[in-house]
């Protein structure tokens, strides 16, 4: 079916966070095939922190990005194979390797105030013939007008689309509306707008729909919400809602429901849901990927996960600063001993 909506699945990238980047190669391929068959427009594959994210800081993956990506483009018949990089972690060389493995689209992710570290990578991706999205993370930390200025930096470098990326799942519906509206006011009409939500305040689908109503056409979602924190907008739920709204898209609801329940839920060793820890992420405005790292630090040092998360929020830590979780935990431990 011809449609303007572009649904990008992030189960195999953001979903990595939920299982400490441990998808097996065959399982990942099986999920990728199911998504492709179900008609999603794009499938993103990478370590949760993007290409080359495998590290002590973010967690080593079960495989390298190259092993995960290898052979996928050959089995996909419909969807675009995409990936993601964070400048500062991955380099243009990594992008080239991905292109060699058949990746046709990439998102270049930066903190919501640091778009000017991305032009080098955006230009390189365009030269490789890729479709390019700019991905402004932790969008709740920048006000709409200023966020739109950052979007302009990415557009000027050649991005085909710019995303409002609510990495902390901290935006409420008005916050999404204002940001997408600010983008639409300044970006060229041909530049697309995307939305990426986390479900920490239970707004995953609602925020995605609000963004769509304000002009966003690229919507991120994942099977059973498989993603960092309380997860992303659950793909099968989003598609059900789009069906009920009569919005045109290319995905099949029942196939996605089956994939979510049969393929994904059995993999979730820690349930992906709104609970006291993941709710704390949205409440304190903290990067969703900090969840499992903070739970581990809390266990190791005998502290409360929530308190660690709230303190990370107080210190205004941004995506990528996972090393500061243990640092905060050690500070809290020292304070406790003093008392």
> Is residue 323 a contact point for another protein (CB under 8 A)?
yes
> Is residue 88 a contact point for another protein (CB under 8 A)?
yes
Q: How far apart are CA 79 and CA 129, in angstroms?
A: 17
Shortest Å distance, C-beta 292 to another protein: 15
Q: How far apart are CA 164 and CA 166, in angstroms?
A: 6
> Is residue 119 a contact point for another protein (CB under 8 A)?
yes
Candidates 89, 226, 242, 332; binder of another protein (CB under 8 A) is 89
Angle at 192 between CA 87 and CA 10, to 5 degrees: 55
Candidates 78, 113, 202, 268; binder of another protein (CB under 8 A) is 113
Q: How far apart are CA 28 and CA 228, in angstroms?
A: 17
Residue placing its CB nearer to another protein in the complex, 30 or 114: 114
- Residue whose entry in the numeric block shows the structure tokens 């898209």: 249
Residue placing its CB nearer to another protein in the complex, 18 or 95: 95
> Is residue 128 a contact point for another protein (CB under 8 A)?
no
For another protein (CB under 8 A), the number of binding residues is 37
Structure tokens at 66: 């190259």
Shortest Å distance, C-beta 296 to another protein: 11
Q: How far apart are CA 233 and CA 216, in angstroms?
A: 15
Candidates 48, 87, 227, 229; binder of another protein (CB under 8 A) is 87
Distances from the Cα of 256 to the Cαs of 22, 151, 234, 316, 337, in angstroms?
Answer: 22, 32, 10, 37, 51
Residue placing its CB nearer to another protein in the complex, 20 or 218: 20
> Is residue 96 a contact point for another protein (CB under 8 A)?
no
Residue placing its CB nearer to another protein in the complex, 34 or 157: 157
| Binding flags for another protein, 43-82, as an x/- string (CB under 8 A) | ---------x-xxxx--xxxxx------------------
Q: How far apart are CA 236 and CA 221, in angstroms?
A: 8
Residue placing its CB nearer to another protein in the complex, 127 or 315: 315
Candidates 5, 33, 117, 206; binder of another protein (CB under 8 A) is 117
Classify each residue of 280-308 as buried b or exposed e, where b means 16 or more C-beta atoms within 10 Å of its C-beta. Answer: bbbbbbbbbbbbbbbbbbbeeeebebbeb
- Residue whose entry in the numeric block shows the structure tokens 């290898």: 70
How many CA atoms lie less than 13 Å away from 123 in the CB half-sphere?
8
User: Three-state SS for 151?
Assistant: helix
Candidates 13, 17, 20, 111; binder of another protein (CB under 8 A) is 111
> Is residue 99 a contact point for another protein (CB under 8 A)?
no
Shortest Å distance, C-beta 127 to another protein: 14
Distances from the Cα of 323 to the Cαs of 284, 317, 328, in angstroms?
Answer: 18, 10, 9
Q: How far apart are CA 139 and CA 100, in angstroms?
A: 32
Please name every residue paired with 67 in a beta bridge, in sequence order, or none if there are none.
none
> Is residue 295 a contact point for another protein (CB under 8 A)?
no
> Is residue 202 a contact point for another protein (CB under 8 A)?
no
Residue placing its CB nearer to another protein in the complex, 213 or 314: 314
> Is residue 158 a contact point for another protein (CB under 8 A)?
no
Identify the CA nearest to 326 among candidates 304, 301, 302: 301
Contacting positions for another protein (CB under 8 A): 52, 54-57, 60-64, 87-89, 91-93, 111, 113-114, 116-117, 119-121, 315-321, 323-324, 326-327, 330-331
């Amino acid at each position: 079916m011809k449609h303007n909506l572009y649904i990008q699945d992030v189960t195999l990238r953001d979903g990595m966070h939920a299982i400490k980047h441990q998808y097996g190669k065959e399982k990942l391929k099986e999920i990728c095939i199911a998504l492709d068959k179900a008609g999603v427009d794009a499938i993103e594959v990478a370590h949760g922190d993007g290409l080359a994210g495998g590290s002590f800081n973010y967690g080593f993956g079960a495989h390298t990005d190259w092993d995960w990506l290898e052979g996928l483009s050959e089995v996909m018949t419909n969807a675009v194979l995409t990936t993601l990089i964070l400048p500062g972690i991955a380099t243009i060389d990594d992008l080239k390797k991905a292109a060699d493995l058949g990746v046709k689209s990439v998102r270049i992710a930066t903190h919501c105030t640091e778009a000017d570290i991305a032009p080098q990578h955006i230009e390189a991706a365009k030269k490789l013939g890729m479709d390019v999205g700019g991905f402004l993370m932790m969008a709740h930390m920048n006000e709409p007008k200023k966020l739109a200025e950052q979007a302009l930096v990415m557009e000027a470098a050649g991005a085909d689309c710019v995303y409002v990326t609510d990495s902390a799942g901290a935006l409420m519906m008005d916050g999404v509306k204002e940001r997408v509206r600010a983008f639409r006011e300044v970006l060229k009409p041909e530049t697309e707008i995307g939305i990426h939500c986390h479900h920490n305040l239970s707004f995953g689908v609602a925020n995605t729909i609000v963004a769509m109503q304000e002009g966003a056409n690229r919507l991120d979602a994942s099977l059973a919400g498989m993603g960092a924190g309380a997860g992303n907008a659950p793909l099968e739920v989003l598609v059900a809602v789009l069906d009920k709204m009569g919005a045109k898209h290319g995905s099949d609801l029942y196939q996605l429901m089956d994939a979510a329940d049969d393929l994904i839920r059995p993999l979730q060793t820690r349930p992906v849901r709104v609970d006291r820890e993941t709710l704390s992420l949205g409440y304190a405005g903290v990067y969703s990927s900090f969840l499992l790292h903070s739970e581990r630090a809390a266990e190791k040092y005998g502290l409360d996960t929530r308190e660690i998360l709230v303190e990370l929020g107080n210190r205004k830590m941004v995506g990528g600063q996972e090393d500061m979780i243990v640092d905060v935990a050690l500070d809290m431990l020292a304070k406790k001993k003093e008392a």
